[in-house]
Amino acid sequence: MAAQGAPTHYLAINAGCLLAALALVHFAPLPRVQPDAAAVIFVALLFLPLLAGPELNGVHRWIGAGPIGLNASLLALPALAVLAAKMDWRWQLGLSVAALAAAVAQPDASLALAVGGAGIGVALATRDTKPSLVAIAALLAAIWAHKRGVLPPVEFVEQVYLDAAGGGVLWLVLLVAASLAPLVLIALDHSMDRAPRFAIAGTMAGFFYTAALSVYPAPLVGYGAAAILGLALALWLAGNQPGPRQGGDPTGDQISSG
C-alpha cells in the first residue's frame, strides 16, 4: 500500500489494528459466554448497519462512519462461522439463513459468498454434505445482491488486485500470494479443531473471491480495519473453543482447549 501511494493514516490504522489483533489472539482470555449467545450477538452485528449504519446508494454495510467505519460482514462473519462450525446442523442452518438474509437486505454479495465458503469449509472438514447445501443458497443470494449493491470503487479498498496489476505483474503475484497464504496457514494449523479452521478459511476465501472479481473490499491486502479485527476474533474463538457438541472430532485432529 505504501509503495502504491496510500495515505499515511491508512497504513497507521491497519498497523494499529494488526497490533490489537495480535494481542487479542495471543493474550486475551476468553470470556464466559455461551456459544449460542455469542452467535446471536454476531448475527445482530450483521444486521446493525440496517438499523444504525450509514447508507450509500441504498446499500447498508457499515458500522460507524468516516475513518472508523467498519464493514459489518468482515468484522462479524468469520467469528460467526467458527461458532457455527461447533454446532449441530440445525444451528448451522439457522445461522446461515440469518446471515444470507443480512446479505440480501444490505445488499452484499461478498457476505453471501463468504457464507457459502464457510459452509463448504465445514462440509470438507466434517465430511458431511449438508453444510455444503448452504453454498447453493449463498450463490443465489450473491447473484441477487450483486445486481443491486455494486458501489463505485474506493482506492486501496476495492479493486486492489486490478490496481496492483497496473503496477506490474510482480505486484499482482505478490498480492495474490499474500491473499492465499493466510488461507493455507489457517487450514493447516492443527492447534485448532479442523471444522473451525476450515470454516475460517472458507469464509475468507469467499471474501477474497468477490474482491478479485468485483467492487468489494479486499481483506488484509487492502485498507480496512474490519477484516483484520474480524479474522483475529475468529482465530481467538477457534483457539479457545471446546470440541463439537456431538460425536467428537471425526477427523482425529487435536482439539485445542485454549
Q: Which pLDDT band holds residue 167 (cuts at 50, 70, 90)?
A: confident
Residue tagged 475460517 (cell numbers): 200
Query: What is the reported pLDDT for 247?
Result: 39
What pTM does this model have?
A: 0.89
| pLDDT per position as a tens digit, 97-108 | 999 999 999 999
| pLDDT number for residue 257 | 33
113 vs 168, residue with greater confidence: 113
Q: Answer yes or no: is pLDDT of 74 > 60.
A: yes
Q: Which are the contacts of 159, defined by CB distance < 8 A and separation ≥ 6?
A: 153, 215
What is the residue whose three cell numbers read 447445501?
A: 133
Compute the distance between CA of residue 2 and CA of residue 93 in angstroms, rounded to an integer.
42
pLDDT at 66: 64
- The pLDDT, as a whole number, for residue 52 is 86
Q: Which of 189 and 64 is assigned the larger pLDDT?
A: 189
pLDDT for 249 beyond 50: no
53 — pLDDT class (breaks 50, 70, 90): confident
SS3 63: strand
Residue 254 has pLDDT above 50, yes or no: no
Whole-angstrom distance, CA of residue 161 vs CA of residue 172:
6
Which of 117-126, 145-154, 180-189 is predicted with the least confidence, judged by mean pLDDT? 145-154
Average pLDDT over the chain, rounded to whole?
Answer: 89
Average pLDDT over residues 127-152: 92
d(CA 218, CA 132): 24
Supply the pLDDT for residue 216: 95
pLDDT at 246 over 90: no
**Per-domain residue ranges for the chain?**
8-238
Helix (H) or strand (E) holding 158: none
Bridge-based pairing of strands 70-71 and 62-63 is antiparallel
Beta-carbon contacts of residue 210 (< 8 Å; ≥ 6 apart) = 109, 110, 113, 114, 142, 216
Report pLDDT digits (tens) over 206-241: 999 999 999 999 999 999 999 999 999 999 999 875
